[in-house]
Amino acid sequence: MVTLQQIKPLEIEAESFRIIEREFAEATGRAVSDFSPEEFAVIRRVIHATGDFGFAASLRFHEQAIAAGIGAIRAGKSVLTDVNMAAAGISRSLLGGFGGKVICRVGEPEVAAMASSQGLTRSETALALAGGDNVGIVAIGNAPTALLAVMELIQAGRINPDLIVGVPVGFVNAAESKELLFQKDYPFITALGRKGGSPVAVAIVNALLRLA
């Protein structure tokens, strides 16, 4: 027999967080106190978005990542995403309260034309055009090619974001691109291995917005 919880809609998220915290140690073999409060806030929201406690083991934080992300948000900088799915999930109202915007240029006709002529994906082409958009956080959840392009653009000095959220999902260069990001000395949040996706990128950014 299935027994449903009787709970008000506005209480669902808070109850979900309580369940995650209650089951965390058994599900992960880790204690909540193994993480800083800010890191756990990000991990908890990712688990909430995916239903997957495995992210407690795969998420990796540069030591300056949380501070860099919060600083970028509070400075009114924008969040650049690789796909519209991620852009749609980020809280524009919270970000807008600080003066920032959510930017995704992947659907622009100019991007499609440039990508076709240069033999590149639309995601990586869109990122290359975003140098003047006051970007503080780049959030990549879908395309490994986009994450690789971001790292190349940073190396070339063409963009200078405060934080890279790099969590592309997939079987071709997803794990490899995230491993390369993990080796960088600038602020990042990533999830090692094949798992990731736009919902994970959105959850990380929204957690940072709430921390800010």
* Residue 159 counted as domain residue: yes
* Residue 171 counted as domain residue: yes
Which is nearest to 103 in space by CA: 125, 71, 81, 124?
A: 81
* Residue 2 counted as domain residue: no
Q: Which domain holds residue 131?
A: 9-211
Mean pLDDT along residues 167-194: 97
Q: Single out the catalytic residue among 48, 92, 184, 194.
A: 48
Q: What CATH number does residue 27 fall under?
A: 3.40.50.10230
Percent of the chain with pLDDT over 90: 74
What is the total count of domains within the chain? 1
Catalytic, 48? Answer yes
87 in Cβ contact with 104 (< 8 Å)? yes
Task: Evaluate if pTM is beyond 0.85.
Answer: yes
Mean pLDDT along residues 4-33: 90
